Amino acid sequence: MNQVILPIISIVVILFSTSILLLVKNWRLCIAALSIQYVAVFFLVLQNWPLEMAMVKLVTGWIAAGLIGLMFRTTQADEIAGDIWPAGRLLRIMVILLIIVTVWSLAPNFTVWVPGSSTFLLVGGLLLISSGLLQISFVTQPLQVMLGLLTFLSGFEVVYSTVERSVLIAGLLAGVNLILALTGAYLIALPEAEDEI
Amino acid sequence: MSAPIIWIVIPGILAVILFLTNRWQRLNTIIALITSVLLSLLAIFLPIGNEFNVAALTYQIRESQIILGRQLIITSSDIPILVIIYLGMAIWIAGAYFTNVSKLFPSIAIGTAVLLVSAMSVQPFLYAAVLIELAALACVPLVTSPGEKVGSGVLRFITSYTIGMPAILFVGWILTASTSTVLIENFQLQAAIFLVIGFMFILAIFPVHSWVPMLIEQTQPFAATFAIFWLTQAGLFFGFGLLGRYELAPDVQTLSNILRIIGVFIVVINAVFIMFQKDLGRLLGFFILGEVGFTILTMSLQPPVNGYLFYSLSLLKMLPIVLCAFCLSHLHLKYTSLNFRRLTGLFQSNHWVAAGVITSILCLMGMPLLPMFPIKYQIIAELGNGSIIFSLSLWLVFFLLIISLVRVIYVFFTNRDDETIFESENLSIKLPIWIGIIMLLIGGIASEFFINVLLGLNY
């Protein structure tokens, strides 16, 4: 039962969170969406990994989201600056729909590429990868780029959890997530900083 | 005592200490410089894996060390990599002292060296991609400045390595799985696709190369060149290691041809880009990318020539790149722009900076009497034996680079029409340039001697 319901709920959560990340400019909502996204990633990774290793993903993700949120709070801006591509929200919604359709139709073929993985897990992973790449491609602000990169990495980790169960690689990837978030926080704070670290 | 403790753990601890005490920049630079030189000398003289006697006592440097449940292995075959990384870091740290780079430079340079050595020694080898990504993220403080907006080059730089790393990790799984089962036949195409994507991002190969010229143009040139040089070099070490460990093609000749096509493509496309540049920073960026192509060409040759030329080129190309980055850093500090229009008539007041830039370009082109001449000549000669097209392509590259050089010389020697005044050079600028030019000339006369002594390679 859990093998089906939990992944489906996770996919719905991922759809919801990635849509917020792509459509909304309010940073608080974006950080909240990223945090919720990591819960979905946790449940997807739990399909292949033991609880304690899957928890690493959740805790790392929350720390990463917290770091970025904490640093953006110091800039005292409610909304992420800069233009959001494309101009109309309607077009962005259509791009999200296009991603969903593409991922849904391609995921069964990818089960041949990644033996032992379920279609649900691949749908979740590929949704995260494609929406992360989309976000990276069309934004110029450090916060949005970092959110996109963290989303992309989450997607990769979901797919990779099927084939790799090494503790070292889990630790290294958690380290990459945290340092990426630290770098993001550093880049967000940089324009207002007066001196080096 | 084990080799990973000497070349990874101890300098790793030192990098953290230097990071925490970054306010004492001069002391940090001296400590980092001495450590780098010492570690490169240890790599040359310590026999890894064999017993040796000191004062009637017998010692042995073990090759492996278990860290976090995985093995780090440094063998005697890794000596050229250790020497290139630590001796190279010493050169970069010395150069950085005379430029206006971040005070974190010594600690980040040592930290980067540690991550690169770890990347080359971690088992399974394909985990190296994660360590290269960490090295890229460690370089971010060098290419950003407090109080300034973050440029698109920095964001693209981070993005490139973050996208490249997962692709390589995924190939790692395919290759590991294929050694025990028949998966290789089913997954050959997938592995090739992910490998190409991964290396395109890590080595900044066209069309995902745009961050390289942007980074040098938008940030401090010396720091940006440091990051670009070492991260692409890490990708090259990684790629060369992969060739020795996995069967990436059905036979040696096919693999060699694929590498030659890729290498020639990179060299030609970057030579074309170089010809159209009007900014010295972007020009240096494309020169570094062109050298990536030449290094890939050395990989395509048969052993032992490939190893000899690969390590020699990796070491010797560093000298002109550091010298050029140093000169550009000085120009960037004084005139804020490296555009040809701004630097017209530079030779009138900055003889040595202009001479440094021109000598570096001559060396990167592979001109006689300079260190890269014998290596580039040998690459062209070896490729010419296989195909006339490869040979002609490289001569075309040489022709395009000569046009670029003539343009740079014309810009430096043309008299300015306006009243812009250039500041003259002081000794802190001239001295490192003199040392750099002398090193290039000595390297040109006795390059084989240095390769034999430093890298322990004979051909």
Alpha helices (H) along B366-426: 373-386, 388-413
Residue of A113 and B432 predicted with greater confidence: B432
Given this model, what pLDDT does residue A10 score?
92
Over residues B6-24, the pLDDT tens digits come to 999 999 999 999 999 988 9
Q: Is the dihedral of CA B51, B54, B58, B63 positive or negative?
A: negative
Say how many CB pairs under 8 Å bridge A and B.
98
- Which residues lie closer than 8 Å to B442 by C-beta, 6 or more apart? none
Confidence of residue B302 (pLDDT cuts 50, 70, 90): confident
The separation between CA B311 and the C-alpha centre of its own chain, rounded to angstroms, equals 11
| Other beta carbons within 10 Å of B178 | 18
The number of angstroms, rounded, from the C-alpha of B202 to the middle of its chain's C-alpha atoms is 12
Q: How many CB atoms lie within 10 A of CB A3?
A: 9
Q: Decide: helix, strand or coil at residue B158.
A: helix
pTM above 0.90, yes or no: yes
Which residue in the set B104, B146, B162 is minimally distant from A153, CB to CB? Answer: B162
**Six-digit token pair at A166?**
């090494």
Q: Considering only residues B173 and A5, tell me which one the structure prediction assigns the higher pLDDT.
A: A5
Average of per-residue pLDDT across B431-449: 89
Q: What pLDDT is attached to residue B421?
A: 61
Distance CA B239, CA B251 (A): 17
Peptide bond into B250 cis (omega under 30): no
Shortest Cα distance, chain A CAs vs residue B222, angstroms? 17
pLDDT at B82: 93
B166 touches chain A (CB under 8 A): yes
Please, which residues 132-161 of chain B have a Cβ atom closer than 8 Å to chain A? 133-134, 137-138, 140-141, 144-150, 152, 154-155, 158-159
Quick one: tokens of B87? 């001796």
Chain B contacts in chain A segment 9-28 (CB below 8 A): none
Does B104 sit within 8 Å of A197, measured CB to CB?
A: yes
Check if the beta carbon of residue B316 is closer than 8 Å to that of residue B442. no
Kindly tell me if the per-residue pLDDT of A182 is higher than 80.
yes
Backbone angles phi, psi at B2, to 5 degrees: -120, 160
The answer to whether the CB atoms of A149 and B140 lie below 8 A apart is no
For residues A160-188, average pLDDT: 89
Question: How close is the nearest chain A Cα to the Cα of B282, in Å?
Answer: 21
From A133, A142, A180, residue closest to B150, measured CB to CB: A142
Q: Please write the tens of the pLDDT for every residue from A107-159.
A: 888 777 777 778 888 999 999 999 999 888 877 888 889 999 999 999 999 99
A66 CB-near residues (< 8 Å, 6+ apart): A31, A35
Asked if the model's pLDDT at residue A81 lies above 70, the reply is: no
Q: For residues A91 and A72, give the distance between their C-alpha atoms in angstroms, rounded to a whole number.
A: 28
Q: What ipTM was assigned to the predicted interfaces of this complex?
A: 0.91
Tell me what pLDDT residue A43 has.
Answer: 93
Convert the pLDDT of each residue in B21-52 to its tens digit: 988 989 999 999 999 999 999 998 888 877 77
- Give percent above pLDDT 70 in chain A: 90
Count of Cβ atoms closer than 10 Å to residue A79 Cβ: 12
Contact list in B for residue A194 (CB cut-off 8 A) is 146-147
In this model, does residue B181 exceed pLDDT 60? Answer: no
Mean pLDDT of B267-284: 94
- At B303 the three-state DSSP class reads coil
What confidence score (pLDDT) does residue B182 get? 47
- Which of A97-111, B110-124, B179-193 has the lowest average pLDDT? B179-193
Q: Is B193 on the interface with A (CB under 8 A)?
A: no
Does the structure show a pLDDT above 70 at B318?
yes
Q: What is the pLDDT of residue B50?
A: 76
C-alpha–C-alpha distance, residues B424 and A45, integer Å: 62
**Nearest neighbour of A196 by CB, restricted to B146, B154, B187:** B146
Contact predicate A34/A72, CB 8 Å? no
* Mean pLDDT along residues B309-332: 93
Q: What is the pLDDT of residues B346-370, one digit of tens each?
A: 888 888 999 999 999 999 999 988 9
Indicate yes or no: CB of A160 within 8 angstroms of CB of B141: no
pLDDT of residue B180 exceeding 70? no
**Residue B422 — pLDDT band, cuts 50, 70, 90?**
low
CA B285 to chain centroid, in Å, comes to: 11
Q: Do A194 and B103 touch (CB under 8 A)?
A: no
Residue A17 token pair: 């969170």
pLDDT score at B116: 94
B151: left (phi over 0), alpha (psi -120 to 50) or beta: beta
All residues of chain B having their beta carbon less than 8 Å from the beta carbon of residue A163 are 173, 177
Whether B127 and chain A come into contact, CB under 8 Å, resolves to yes
| pLDDT for the residue numbered B71 | 83
Does residue A1 carry a pLDDT above 60?
A: no
Contact A196 B104 (CB under 8 A): yes
What mean pLDDT is predicted for residues B226-236?
A: 95
Check: CB of residue B7 under 8 Å from CB of residue B48: no
CA–CA gap between residue B269 and residue A159 (Å, rounded): 35
